[in-house]
Amino acid sequence: MIEQNSITFVAAVNNREILENNLLASPCLRQPHPHQILIQEGFASATKAYNQAIDKSENDLIVFVHQDIILPEQWLSDLQRALKCLDEEDPEWGVTGSYGETLHDNGRGYIYSSGLGIMGRPFERPAQVQTLDEIVLILKKSSGLRFDESLPHFHMYGVDICMAAEEAGRKNYAISAFCVHNTAPSLTLGDDFYECYRHVKQRWKKRLPIQTTCVRITRYDRYMYRRRLGEMYVRYINPKVFGGSRAVNVQQLLREVDGMLTQKRFAGPSQTDVVSESGL
The secondary element (H helix, E strand) that includes residue 108 is strand 107-109
pLDDT for residue 210: 98
Give the confidence band of 3 by pLDDT, cuts at 50, 70, 90: very low
Beta pairing class for 111-113 and 117-119: antiparallel
The residues, any chain, with a CB within 8 Å of residue 207's CB and separated by 6 or more, are: 163, 166, 167
Q: Which residue has the higher pLDDT, 160 or 33?
A: 160
pLDDT over 80 (residue 107): yes
- Mean predicted confidence (pLDDT) in 14-22: 96
pLDDT band at residue 242 under the 50/70/90 scheme: low
| Alpha-helical regions (H) of the chain | 16-21, 27-30, 46-56, 75-89, 157-167, 191-203, 222-232, 250-265
| The pLDDT value given to residue 31 | 80
Q: Strands 131-132 and 99-101: what pairing?
A: antiparallel
CB within 8 A of 246, min separation 6: which ones? 18, 68, 114, 182, 183, 184
Percent residues over pLDDT 90 in the chain? 80
41 DSSP β-pair partners: 13
Quick one: pLDDT at residue 274?
A: 45
Residue 173 has pLDDT above 50, yes or no: yes
Q: Where are the domains of the chain?
A: 7-265
- With both helix axes pointing from N to C terminus, report the angle between 46-56 and 157-167 in degrees, rounded to the nearest 10: 60
* Average pLDDT for 72-100: 97
**pLDDT number for residue 154:** 97
* 235 vs 170 pLDDT, higher one: 170
Report d(CA 111, CA 60) in Å as an integer.
25
Predicted confidence band of residue 203 (pLDDT cuts 50, 70, 90): very high
Mind listing the pLDDT tens digit for each residue in 208-230?
A: 999 999 999 999 999 999 999 99
CA angle, 172 as apex, 171 and 177 as ends, to 5°? Answer: 140
**Between 26 and 272, where is the model more confident?**
26
Are 65 and 11 in contact by the 8 Å Cβ rule? The answer is yes
Average pLDDT over residues 48-64: 98
State which CATH number among 3.90.76.10, 3.90.550.10, 3.10.450.50, 3.30.1330.10 fits the domain covering 7-265. Answer: 3.90.550.10
